[in-house]
Structure 1
Amino acid sequence: MKALTIRQPWAGAIAHQTKRVENRTWKLPQKFHGERVLLHAAAQPDKDAVVYGPNLDVFGAVIAVIRFTGYHYDSGADPCCSEWAFRGTYHWTLDDVIALPEPVPAKGALGFWTPSDDVLAAVHAQTAVDQ
């Protein structure tokens, strides 16, 4: 299972609110369509974001398990899929979000990365998700 690091408050909005689209400048790799991925909250927040809410103060930890359902590009011509969607980006759609009761500390990385066996075991202990 791979992990993806996302800055707060976006990671918390995915794990604990209604954000079901991730904005990226690149296409979702085909091999991740329909796959479960660990959602890692980055060590540093997005300094330009202005979003308030609970559970946005966790940094440097896996906070959820998500599943990507696909992606599309938003050219800005029509209203798009979500209030969370940014124009001129790829929208990676997701569902089946399982927020972890306890964050699992981990060092993240750019792009998709492979978590340690200890991190996978700690996530598995909190969910019924197979590794």
Structure 2
Amino acid sequence: MKALTIRQPWVGAIAHQTKRVENRTWKLPAKHERTRILIHAAAKPDLNATVYGDHLDVYSAIVAVATITGSHWSDDGRCCGPWGEEGVYHWGLADVIALPEPVAAKGALGFWTPDGDVLAAVETRLLAVAR
């Protein structure tokens, strides 16, 4: 399973609020459309972001899983509600499940593959959510 690193507070808004669009300057590769991914909190925050709420202070960890439903270009950002930005690709997210506890992991740019220990820890936490 691939992971995608996202800066806080955006990753917290995906995992624990209503953010179901990821704004990216690059088009979603077709092979990742309709796939399940891990949502990873970057080591450093987006200092220009303003989001309020809980769970916005976790860094360098997998915090959720989600399905990427597809992507489209947006000139004005209005198509995806308050979370959509203008002049970027919008990647749709669905079936988001927040992990009950984050799994520490070093991230990377773009899509990346976590090691086996991280994947096993994520699976354990997902089983706890399913119970």
TM-score category, normalised to shorter length: over 0.9
Report SS of the residue matched to 1:62. Answer: strand
Report SS of the residue matched to 1:58. Answer: coil
State the alpha-carbon separation in 1 of the partners of residues 13 and 23 from structure 2. Answer: 13
Matched, 1:115 2:114: yes
Letter in 1 for 2:125: Q
Letter in 2 for 1:119: V
Counterpart in the other structure of 2:31? 31
Displacement after TM superposition at 1:79 (Å):
3.1
Q: Percent identity?
A: 65
Counterpart in the other structure of 2:3? 3
Counterpart in the other structure of 1:103? 102
Structure 1 gaps of 5+ residues are none
Counterpart in the other structure of 2:51? 51
Structure 2 gaps of 5+ residues are none
Letter in 1 for 2:97: I
State the alpha-carbon separation in 2 of the partners of residues 34 and 127 from structure 1. Answer: 19
Counterpart in the other structure of 1:93? 92
State the alpha-carbon separation in 1 of the partners of residues 36 and 78 from structure 2. Answer: 28
Matched, 1:22 2:18: no
State the alpha-carbon separation in 2 of the partners of residues 107 and 52 from structure 1. Answer: 25
Counterpart in the other structure of 1:66? 66
State the alpha-carbon separation in 1 of the partners of residues 50 and 27 from structure 2. Answer: 25
Counterpart in the other structure of 1:124? 123
Richer in helix (by share): 2
Report SS of the residue matched to 1:127. Answer: helix
Name segments (4+ residues, structure 1) moved above 6 Å. none
Displacement after TM superposition at 1:49 (Å):
0.7
Report SS of the residue matched to 1:120. Answer: helix
Letter in 2 for 1:82: G
- Give the alignment's TM-score, normalised by structure 2: 0.94
- Give the alignment's TM-score, normalised by structure 1: 0.94
Displacement after TM superposition at 1:80 (Å):
1.2
State the alpha-carbon separation in 1 of the partners of residues 61 and 78 from structure 2. Answer: 34
